[in-house]
Structure 1
Amino acid sequence: MSDQGTLSAEERAIVEAAAARARGALHSGSPLRDVLSVLTAAVEALGKHRVVASILVLDREGLLRNGASPNLPADYLDAIDRLKPDPRVGTCAAAAATGEVVETPSFLEDARWSELRHLPMALGFAGAWSMPIKREGRVLGTFGTYFRERRRPTAAERAAMGVLAPVAAEAIAGAW
């Protein structure tokens, strides 16, 4: 992915095609997980499969549940299932609690990961970031990306997520 503030033509085509596929799946009545998986696949394709994307959805009890994380193992998803939004925990729980983007360039250096860092590091991840998925100001979930190297998201990754997160919000809101 380019490190520019805008997406390249190729990246924009991938993002727009994924958004259109996800909206089509949503309007045809596909299950929420299938719709959200289209969006996570686009993020992974843009990252040349050096990243893994995950969408967590707030349930009716206000806990984070797996919405779509096709390339994270079941035991990892079980370990993070039902996380409570908390600005002091991880990236997704913090993003859900604050309604703001949360970056973790290095799991080793971020106190929010003190209790959980062993989980992503065991999978070869070094850092992550998460964008809240919002609709009408309400947080519905989070769109997270795990990195295999220590770093922050690029401007292009932020731009792509800016296009894909509203599609995720539409899908989640429709499922409630």
Structure 2
Amino acid sequence: MADSLDATDLRFSKLLAGQNRALQLALGGAPLSEALAVLVRTAEEQAGGRFLGSILLLDEDGKHLRHGAAPSLPDAYNQGIEGNEIGPRAGSCGTAAYFGHAIVVTDIARDPHWADFRELALQHGLRACWSTPFVARDRSVLGTLALYYREPHGPSEDDREIVKLVGNTAALIIENARLHARLQDRDD
């Protein structure tokens, strides 16, 4: 029992260290993609390779998802989903952003949410995807955090905890970056 508590404490400590590193980058003026990549890498490392992470940002138009960070996903996959419109059958991320709640797809090969993106995902070895939106203080969707798995299954309880911490931190970083950009535009 003490060993599992120590492992949990260590994992949580490493998650917090990654969160702090991402916040320091964001507050220090680093590009948004760099701070978000630190969050995704931290989540992937703490999961021991169980999943590949991705953060997509909802465009200012509220209709399209843009690349935020996905350091472990293939570039061709990231390019293939760049700018796609959200909707009721737009993969896990586009559907999660559209409805404003988590979408768990345990088998991409069989799920109707993935009809338009199934081949792209499968050709890159992505078999399952859980996506959850993260929101601004006004409850508007800012983007999504996705966990991709190499075999069909759903998220573990550990994965859910990681997503909660990373999603909240991503929301804070993104909302801060957007506020900073609006202030810069106003000053110019």
Please say whether Structure 1 and Structure 2 have the same fold, judged by a TM-score greater than 0.5: yes
Q: Please state which structure has a larger fraction of its residues in helix.
A: 2
Cα deviations across residues 41-93 of structure 1 (Å, max 9, x unaligned)?
01211222231101000112221000011122222112111111112221000
Corresponding position: 1:53 with 2:44: no
What is the CA distance between 1:97 and its match in structure 2? 0.7
Partner of 1:101: 102
Corresponding position: 1:129 with 2:126: no
Partner of 2:186: none
What is the CA distance between 1:165 and its match in structure 2? 0.7
Partner of 2:75: 74
Which secondary structure state, in structure 2, belongs to the residue aligned with residue 109 of structure 1?
coil
Cα deviations across residues 87-145 of structure 1 (Å, max 9, x unaligned)?
22210001111110110100112111112111121111210101101112110000011
Which secondary structure state, in structure 2, belongs to the residue aligned with residue 8 of structure 1?
helix
Structure showing greater Rg: 2
Aligned 8 A contact 1:132 1:142 in 2? yes
Partner of 1:36: 36
Give, in whole Å, the separation in 2 of the partners of 1:88 and 1:114. 7
Identity over aligned pairs, percent: 32
Q: Give the ranges of 4+ consecutive aligned residues of structure 1 lying more than 6 Å apart after TM superposition.
A: none
The one-letter amino acid of 1:172's match is I
> Structure 2: 5+ residue runs without aligned partners?
179-188
Cα deviations across residues 153-174 of structure 1 (Å, max 9, x unaligned)?
0111111111111110111112
Q: Give the structure-1-normalised TM-score.
A: 0.92
Corresponding position: 1:173 with 2:172: no
Aligned 8 A contact 1:135 1:166 in 2? no
Give, in whole Å, the separation in 1 of the partners of 2:123 and 2:13. 34
Equivalenced residue count is: 171
Q: Give the structure-2-normalised TM-score.
A: 0.86
Which secondary structure state, in structure 2, belongs to the residue aligned with residue 108 of structure 1?
coil
